[in-house]
């Protein structure tokens, strides 16, 4: 039996705890890509968070500056690689604005249709991964992959490739749609809607899922604006800000769709806004089919080699993660002088520390997942 000396008294220091550092990543199933965050925890409570990025940096902007305007198309697919055509559209719009190139009307409708299919594709990936983060095990991934594979099959029919289609071109598209595209897309929309209903039953109506997400990591509108959030992370706070509505581009001003918003900006609102957005995308695609004009899909007046004398522009689109912006500058020749990507995932990720501190370690994983980042776009 241990006998304590009489002078040894128990003090408050005996009950103090020591902060522990936990590395999550860069190779970790909870990081949604090659990403590392260092959590400082006091017991189970996160008291500090330091994110580390750059593991996927490939020099997108410099590569674009060293290739001609058409050669660079393939690099941009690989930013938000879950929705390559959405990235292609932003890049093409920047080149077209810089060079004052016209785009045929039919090409604009096809672009919007493919971009909205890409938005659904990206959101399905979020539902699958986030459901697994919260605890649905593999079921949410199975549901997501079923619908994603069907969309990828259609992309392959249209462009010859699935994940990196490189289908868009400055001035239009690589080629027209196959003859059976309308029947294929209408069948695809029916399948997607059934898949979204399945997710509603699996996640939205799941009491455990709702209890885990409701009220966790709420964000106010003021905080979201201060942190530079965009996309579903911003709209989950109740602010109906969507670039397709506030600053319409392409043919979005001809289409009818709603902007889903949340109430408290918590994790559940971020999920439910993306779910509602996927439903809205199906309505947009249906309108594109109904209004699709005939005609060319590529401007025939464009030269074989694009040359732009001088100028600069900034084009922003409503990407799958938020404001996907491209700054372009030309100083003559067939290559851009400067290209800069405004990455929505990078801006959303910069608020991770403020969102995570004060919550449990287990909750930090699903807070990160609720941001729906894609590291190819963060690191560029």
Q: What is the distance between the alpha carbons of residues 220 and 243, in angstroms, rounded to a whole number? A: 20
Half-sphere exposure of 48 (CA within 13 A, CB side): 8
The answer to whether the beta carbons of residues 70 and 379 sit under 8 Å apart is no
The answer to whether the beta carbons of residues 61 and 346 sit under 8 Å apart is no
Half-sphere exposure of 196 (CA within 13 A, CB side): 21
Q: What is the distance between the alpha carbons of residues 89 and 112, in angstroms, rounded to a whole number? A: 9
3-state helix, strand, coil in the chain (%, to 5): 50, 10, 40
The answer to whether the beta carbons of residues 225 and 152 sit under 8 Å apart is no
Q: At CA 316, angle to CA 263 and CA 312, rounded to 5?
A: 155
Q: Give the tokens for residue 54.
A: 């750059």
Among 171, 133, 205, which residue's Cα sits nearest to residue 370? 133
Q: Give per-residue pLDDT as tens, 171-182.
A: 999 999 999 999
Q: What is the pLDDT of residue 206?
A: 87
118 membership: H or E segment, kind and range: helix 105-134
Q: Give per-residue pLDDT as tens, 58-68.
A: 899 999 999 99
Q: Give per-residue pLDDT as tens, 114-140.
A: 999 999 999 999 999 898 888 866 788
pTM: 0.91
Lowest model confidence (mean pLDDT) among 53-57, 97-101, 131-135, 332-336:
131-135
Q: Please say if the pLDDT value at position 241 is more than 80.
A: yes
Q: What is the distance between the alpha carbons of residues 362 and 360, in angstroms, rounded to a whole number? A: 5
The verdict on residue 369 lying in a domain is no
Q: What is the 3-state secondary structure (H, E, C) of 234-249?
A: HHCCCCCCCHHHHCCC
Name 111's Cβ contacts closer than 8 Å, sequence gap at least 6: 85, 89, 103, 168, 173, 250
- Its sign, for the CA torsion 234, 372, 246, 227, is positive
Of 255 and 14, more confident:
255
Q: What is the distance between the alpha carbons of residues 232 and 240, in angstroms, rounded to a whole number? A: 10
The verdict on residue 259 lying in a domain is yes
Cis ω on the peptide bond leading into residue 99 (within 30° of 0)? no
Provide the number of structural domains found in the chain. 1
Domain residues for the domain of 176 are: 56-341
The verdict on residue 126 lying in a domain is yes
Q: Give the tokens for residue 247.
A: 């600053």
Q: At CA 278, angle to CA 151 and CA 128, rounded to 5?
A: 70
CATH code of residue 74 = 1.10.645.10
Lowest model confidence (mean pLDDT) among 72-81, 145-154, 185-194, 274-283:
72-81
Average pLDDT of every residue of the chain: 91
The answer to whether the beta carbons of residues 327 and 305 sit under 8 Å apart is no
The verdict on residue 359 lying in a domain is no
The verdict on residue 43 lying in a domain is no
Cis ω on the peptide bond leading into residue 26 (within 30° of 0)? yes
Q: What is the pLDDT of residue 14?
A: 61
Q: What is the pLDDT of residue 26?
A: 80
The verdict on residue 27 lying in a domain is no
Name 196's Cβ contacts closer than 8 Å, sequence gap at least 6: 275, 278, 279
The answer to whether the beta carbons of residues 337 and 95 sit under 8 Å apart is no
pLDDT above 70 coverage of the chain, percent = 95
User: Could you tell me the pLDDT band of residue 219, with boundaries at 50, 70 and 90?
Assistant: very high
The verdict on residue 37 lying in a domain is no
Which strands make up the sheet holding 20-24, listed edge to edge? Answer: 20-24, 36-42, 45-52
Q: What is the distance between the alpha carbons of residues 197 and 42, in angstroms, rounded to a whole number? A: 41
Q: Give per-residue pLDDT as tens, 154-164.
A: 999 999 988 89
User: Could you tell me the pLDDT band of residue 27, with boundaries at 50, 70 and 90?
Assistant: confident
Of how many residues is the chain composed?
380
The verdict on residue 12 lying in a domain is no
């Amino acid at each position: 039996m241990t006998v304590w000396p009489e002078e040894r008294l128990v003090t408050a220091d005996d009950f103090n705890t020591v902060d522990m550092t936990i590395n999550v990543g860069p190779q970790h199933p909870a990081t949604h890509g090659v990403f590392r965050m260092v959590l400082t925890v006091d017991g189970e409570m996160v008291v500090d968070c330091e994110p580390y990025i750059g593991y996927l940096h490939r020099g997108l902007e410099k590569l674009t500056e060293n290739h001609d305007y058409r050669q660079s198309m393939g690099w941009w697919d690989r930013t938000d690689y879950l929705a390559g055509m959405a990235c292609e559209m932003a890049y093409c719009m920047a080149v077209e604005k810089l060079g004052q190139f016209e785009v045929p009307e039919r090409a604009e409708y096809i672009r919007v249709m493919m971009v909205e299919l890409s938005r659904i594709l990206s959101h399905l990936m979020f539902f699958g991964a986030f459901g697994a983060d919260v605890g649905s095990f593999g079921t949410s991934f199975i549901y997501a992959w079923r619908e994603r594979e069907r969309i990828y099959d259609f992309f392959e029919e249209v462009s010859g490739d699935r994940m990196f289609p490189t289908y868009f071109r400055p001035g239009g598209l690589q080629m027209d749609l196959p003859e059976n595209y309308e029947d294929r897309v209408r069948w695809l929309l029916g399948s997607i809607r059934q898949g979204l209903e399945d997710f509603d039953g699996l996640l939205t109506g799941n009491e455990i899922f709702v209890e885990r997400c409701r009220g966790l990591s709420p964000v106010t509108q003021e905080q979201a604006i201060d942190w530079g959030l965009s996309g579903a992370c911003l709209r989950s706070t109740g602010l109906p800000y969507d670039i397709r509505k506030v600053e319409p581009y392409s043919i979005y001003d001809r289409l009818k769709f709603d902007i889903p918003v949340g109430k408290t900006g918590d994790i559940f609102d971020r999920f439910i806004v993306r779910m509602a957005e996927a439903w809205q995308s199906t309505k947009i695609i249906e309108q594109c089919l109904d209004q699709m004009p005939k005609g060319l899909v590529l401007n025939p007046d464009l030269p074989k080699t694009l040359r732009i004398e001088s100028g600069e522009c900034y084009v922003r689109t409503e990407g799958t993660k938020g404001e996907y912006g491209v700054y372009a500058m030309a100083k003559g020749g067939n290559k851009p002088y400067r290209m800069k990507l405004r990455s929505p995932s990078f801006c959303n990720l910069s608020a991770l520390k403020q969102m995570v501190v004060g919550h449990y370690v287990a909750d930090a994983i699903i807070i990160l997942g609720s941001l729906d980042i894609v590291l190819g776009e963060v690191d560029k």
